Structure 1
Amino acid sequence: MNLEVHTQFLVVGAGPAGLGLASFLGQHGLGGLVVSKASGSADTPRAHSFNPFAFGTLLRNECMRDLGIEDQALQQSVRGHSFQSMRWSRSMIGEEYGKALGWAEHPSCIGNAFGITPCEYAEFSQSELEPLLVRYASHHNFNVRFFTELVSAQESGSDGAQTGYICTIRDNITQSTFQVRTQYLFGADGARSQVARVLDFKYISKPSGGKACNILIRADLASHMHEGRHAALHWILKPDGISFFGLVAHLRMVRPWNQWVLVGFGSNGSDPFEGLTPDSPELNNCIREVIRNEFVDIEILRMDHWTVRERVAETYSIDDTNVFVLGDAAHRHPPAFGLSSNTCVQDAYNLAEERQPVGAILVREANNGLLAQKDIWQSVGMFAATPEEGAEQLAKLSGPSDEGVAHREKVHDAMKRIEIELHSWGAAYNQWYESTAVYLADEEHGRPEIVGDPILQAQVTTYPGSRLPHAWLDIPTRRKKISTHDLAGKGAFCLFTGIGGGGWKEAAKNIANSTGVLINVYGIGYGLDDSDVNRDCHDNREVEERGCVLVRPDRFVAWRSKRLVSNCQGKPTRVLDSIFSIIQD
């Protein structure tokens, strides 16, 4: 007899996207099954930099904050402004070509770091994130099975009032198969997604950008890492190197100062370490040359080869079905801009087709970021044909000639362009949605233009489809201030209003009584629920005191009314009816 399991939600893949989705569903009392072909959670650091907009909702910051596990994650994170920068040098402890200050370390970014979010950037490896999410999901109605893979899936047709999928699942321990009948199927199974393959998702792709290799190593460099060398990424460029000529390497600190990931890029887009094993003597010698220390003990723990991709799904779901892709199954790109796991988590937080344009922009900008790095490599001589030619080009950087001046200016300009990546608050923040889940009928004008570079400048607005602006609030009954983000989210709609906007509160109460749709209402102002202690809410709300802002459960603005209207009792009902088509006037 074939075993058949019934579940409402089947999540294929147990990375940040799949486990994040299971956690968010489980948070709201929903249950299901997660299966993963891997034998366990990530055993290498992989993705590492978390911006506030993923940390927040999932930790304490915007994504992780919603689950209530942000503090746990921050305790395991490496934090501090000096770990947000990037440096380039001839070796790990050698002469530097330059350094770029990033995120909250650069003076131009401080306003964003403390003004647009209650959260912070942190170095938090995927290998530490996933166990947190496994624990949360498995404690909140989801079973998580590793070493278990999807073989096939087909639409089951009508099942009473429901449609769904019949999936064949293989247990790779017992080599037995069983079937799962599920109402919803989610492909969070990475770049080689079986869900996407068997259900024929279509992708927009560009040619591969080359190959690379990650090497996880253990090496104690504490004696070399004075404060001036603290950075998130250390690019090692030695154009006159003989061993592995043309190698571009970067070292990323995993744990200070004894665990690292070395990422190697070869000449002409090749994998410099192809064919080598962790025991290869030349690999060990190469790492010593990169560090420039012949005596440090080096332990090579793992090698992972990978390909630079530029690929995004045409759609994140198939029309009239309950199947979705998210995370790397939906978009594949290099790690530039540090938005990989961040976007995976945000995909899970808002599983909707309106996310597709966000993924497309990310894929484009991440590849542009890698191209900007290549300009630096070329500027210092890494594309030279021989070590002698590389040494000659490198010597020009310290020469007094006009040619030397031109080369130094070229390196400077390339690093300034890289700073765009390290100051890209706009790329992380400016993710707005245009869909039927955003109500624009009351807007007198279109979305306001972003002033300046949209990659650098964060647009703080309550225009529908935008992120809820962060503002610190003071609640008399609490002993600490909280953010508007702390009031929103958690699976419920939220409505903000001010003095004189009490009619909106009554309207929300009537909706809850008649439909069961919960709308938490907060009055902000003197004598109301919360005090706008820093006046930030006043500056960013863009509606009158008697107006209102309706926020979706994912903390994006669904609708706003700039002023109190005569039909305020019926208006929110009509808005939600338009968004969901489930609430009747």
Structure 2
Amino acid sequence: MLNMSAKRESAPQDIETDVFVVGAGVTGLTFAGLLATAGVRAFTIAKHRGTAPSPRAHVTNQRTMEVFRDMGIEGRVLEVSTPLRLLGNGVICTSLTGMEIARYSCYGAGSHQLSDFAAASPSEMMNTPQHFLERILLAHAQEKGAEVRFNNELISIEQTVEGVVGRVRNRQTGAEYTVRAKYAIGADGGRSVVAQQADVEFKGEPGLINMLTSWLEADVTQYTAYRPACIYMMAQPGNAFWVGSGTLVAVKPYNEWLLNRQYNTSEEPDLSDNAIIAYAQKALGIPDLKIKVIETSKWQVNNMYATQTRHGRIFLAGDAAHRHPPASGLGSNTCVQDAYNLVWKLALVVAGKAADQLLESYNQERQPIAQQIVQHAVQSLYNFARVPQALGFKQGQSTEEGYESLEDLFSDSPTAEKRRAELKEAVDLQNRRSNALGLQLGHRYHGSDAIVYDGTPFPRYQRDLVLFYEPTTHPGAYLPHAWIEFLTQRISTLDIFEHGRFGLIVGIGGEPFVDAAKKVSQELGIELPVYKIGYRCPYDDVLGEWYNLREIGDRGAILVRPDRHIAWRTFDRPDEPTEALRSALQQVLGHWSGKEATNQFSE
């Protein structure tokens, strides 16, 4: 009886909030920070003791760095990151001391890639270990006033007419309490309890392969610094796994690494430090290498995505919605971008400034992206599997047989030239893994209720849509980056907007839109600053870069959402700018009036 009484006395109070976030990894912590910044009451829990204890994800692409730039934490992320252009090789080898099979430029570091990556964004790709990133996201969220509780586990969650009700257990004390919220976000990873209890349908296949990751300290500077790479992919005789004999991922060049390797389900791996060190020494080709094992963990590669990312008042984001291999580095990036898409919508709906229909656009916009990135990541694995095939490596073959095949490949034998062509084709496919600039930056939202389409098709792609980013101001696209000048300072077009707010871009003839924006802003309760960009405008297009990208005339306008996707545009100034702008913004907010938004765009 005494223990029960003590338990009741220590039980935490029930929570009432607007948004209940389940999970506090990259996804949940991004939500926590953004929601707090937007002034939305939110409560975040995670069953783990704290932020990620190991590096895990690491590639942070330019679009995600732009989000961090908008959040005001880009500088902090840069402090703990290594620019990927400094690790700009993809190296395929039998081991660090063995034969180098192939090398290719990636992450924008190649001479043929520099201009594409630099022109696409004001931010650079970074190698940011996840355990550092999560600490930054947590600190930012707490600075903004977010409440985040670790060691608290979701037991159950259900929807009611008024909202969602979650039951939570404190894993330290065993005490339970209830969380009531208007909306809930499942950000609880690949084994999402939220997704399970919401009975979410997934497509794809779980448990494709079993993986083992070891976090190691080992100084291999002499074998890596002359060919700096984020990932060294090793292929050895007798091994035809999808990831070869292992991948060595840079955490801190050149003495801290993650070694990823595949194992058969029938062969439970030895997780002792001695076994991990022995495998690493063999895979890296350095028998006497001094190695310290920091951590080792097992995990599975999945190929799954949710068919719906919204289920009433419950939303799925990050790995809870899309589960895929880390190939191409899309995991944590998509997590951050999911949050960036949804938070401003939740903020407006909770504040009563937008209708619930706005929230439906989260599924309309992000679910296709989830499907796309899962399929791309899995295809990247298949693409790498072609490398050991081209080398003639087979599961179970002897070391002698494997190296004989490799020797023949680089000889003048009758079949070698054809084999080398097949190898080059396999290596060229790795560009789709490491140089997927178009996939990372080129998200175009089709069929969204939060976009006012102008009756024109998206511009046709002129180059490979995975490898090359082609900016456009078509509604549904992301606002193009261009360098402009404001008060003698060089800034990006992405830098002019206030965090969490809409913005209206106009040109030299856009003055009537200033009055229109004031009226519409007052009517709808939405802040709508106007930014005049053009030759000798306050935001001076000194280089003419914006002129080349804007796709509207001097009297046109572009309405930009808080997530920087384009909501509406008009090529010329409509006869009634106020009515056109009002109608467009009403549609975006879900306050559909039955009138078509005015669009004056013509090709």
TM-score norm. by structure 1 comes to 0.92
Q: 1:122 matched to which residue of 2? A: 126
Q: 1:23 offset after TM fit, Å?
A: 1.0
Secondary structure at the counterpart of residue 336 of structure 1: coil
1:457 matched to 2:457: no
Match of 2:254 among 244, 257, 278: 257
Q: 1:60 matched to which residue of 2? A: none
Match of 1:436 among 449, 456, 462: 449
Q: 1:515 offset after TM fit, Å?
A: 2.3
Q: 1:534 matched to which residue of 2? A: 543
**Percent sequence identity over aligned pairs:** 30
CA contact (8 A) 2:62 2:441 kept: no
Report 1:37-436 matches (<5 A): 37-56=47-66, 63-157=67-161, 163-206=162-205, 208-227=207-226, 229-239=227-237, 248-266=245-263, 270=264, 274-279=268-273, 281-318=274-311, 321-351=312-342, 352-353=362-363, 354-387=365-398, 388-434=400-446, 435-436=448-449
Q: How many residues are aligned here?
A: 562
- Gaps in structure 2 of 5+ consecutive residues: 1-7, 343-361, 596-603
CA contact (8 A) 1:265 1:271 kept: no
Please say which of residues 72-81 and 9-18 is displaced more in the overlay. 72-81
Q: State the distance in 2 between where 1:272 and 1:239 align.
A: 21
1:281-334 CA-partner distances (Å, limit 9, x unpaired): 33321111122223322111211212221100011111xx22100000000000
Q: Which amino acid aligns with 2:234?
A: I
Q: 1:208 offset after TM fit, Å?
A: 4.0
1:505 matched to 2:505: no
Q: 1:247 offset after TM fit, Å?
A: 5.8
Secondary structure at the counterpart of residue 279 of structure 2: helix
Q: 1:575 offset after TM fit, Å?
A: 0.6
Secondary structure at the counterpart of residue 540 of structure 2: coil
Secondary structure at the counterpart of residue 112 of structure 2: helix
Q: Which amino acid aligns with 2:50?
A: G
Q: 1:518 matched to which residue of 2? A: 527
Q: Which amino acid aligns with 1:336?
A: A
Cα 1:274/1:78, change in 2 over 3 Å: farther
Q: Which amino acid aligns with 2:319?
A: D
1:212-264 CA-partner distances (Å, limit 9, x unpaired): 1111111122243332x21010011121689x9x9611101101221100001
Cα 1:295/1:235, change in 2 over 3 Å: same
CA contact (8 A) 2:164 2:183 kept: yes
Q: 1:557 matched to which residue of 2? A: 566
Q: 2:490 matched to which residue of 1? A: 481
CA contact (8 A) 1:310 1:364 kept: yes
CA contact (8 A) 2:239 2:245 kept: no
Q: 1:404 offset after TM fit, Å?
A: 2.0
Q: 1:42 offset after TM fit, Å?
A: 0.4
Q: Which amino acid aligns with 2:245?
A: V
CA contact (8 A) 1:32 1:141 kept: no
Q: State the distance in 1 between where 2:166 and 2:379 align.
A: 39
CA contact (8 A) 1:8 1:32 kept: yes
Q: Which amino acid aligns with 1:343?
A: T
Q: Which amino acid aligns with 1:257?
A: Y
Please say which of residues 301-310 and 539-548 is displaced more in the overlay. 301-310
Secondary structure at the counterpart of residue 402 of structure 1: coil
Cα 1:560/1:431, change in 2 over 3 Å: same
Q: State the distance in 1 between where 2:64 and 2:459 align.
A: 25
Q: 2:3 matched to which residue of 1? A: none
CA contact (8 A) 2:88 2:110 kept: no
CA contact (8 A) 1:515 1:583 kept: no
Q: 1:581 offset after TM fit, Å?
A: 3.3
Q: State the distance in 2 between where 1:32 and 1:282 align.
A: 45
Secondary structure at the counterpart of residue 108 of structure 2: coil
Q: 1:527 offset after TM fit, Å?
A: 3.6
Q: 1:160 matched to which residue of 2? A: none
Q: State the distance in 2 between where 1:85 and 1:494 align.
A: 39
Q: 1:207 offset after TM fit, Å?
A: 5.7
Q: 1:489 offset after TM fit, Å?
A: 5.3
Q: 1:211 offset after TM fit, Å?
A: 1.6
Give every structure 1 segment of 4 or more consecutive aligned residues whose post-TM-superposition deviation is greater than 4 Å. none
Q: 1:384 offset after TM fit, Å?
A: 4.4
Q: 1:17 matched to which residue of 2? A: 27
Q: State the distance in 1 between where 2:140 and 2:520 align.
A: 32
Q: State the distance in 2 between where 1:110 and 1:212 align.
A: 34
Cα 1:278/1:505, change in 2 over 3 Å: farther
Q: 1:141 offset after TM fit, Å?
A: 2.5
Q: 1:395 offset after TM fit, Å?
A: 2.0
1:3-54 CA-partner distances (Å, limit 9, x unpaired): 3211111110011111111111111222321100111100111110010100
Q: 1:375 offset after TM fit, Å?
A: 0.1
Cα 1:399/1:271, change in 2 over 3 Å: farther
1:34 matched to 2:31: no
Q: Which amino acid aligns with 2:248?
A: L
TM-score norm. by structure 2 comes to 0.90
- Supply the RMSD in Å over aligned alpha carbons: 2.0
- Gaps in structure 1 of 5+ consecutive residues: 57-62, 158-162
CA contact (8 A) 1:278 1:300 kept: no
1:159-194 CA-partner distances (Å, limit 9, x unpaired): xxxx21111100000011111111111100001000
1:449-497 CA-partner distances (Å, limit 9, x unpaired): 211221112121000000001011101x24x211110113511111111
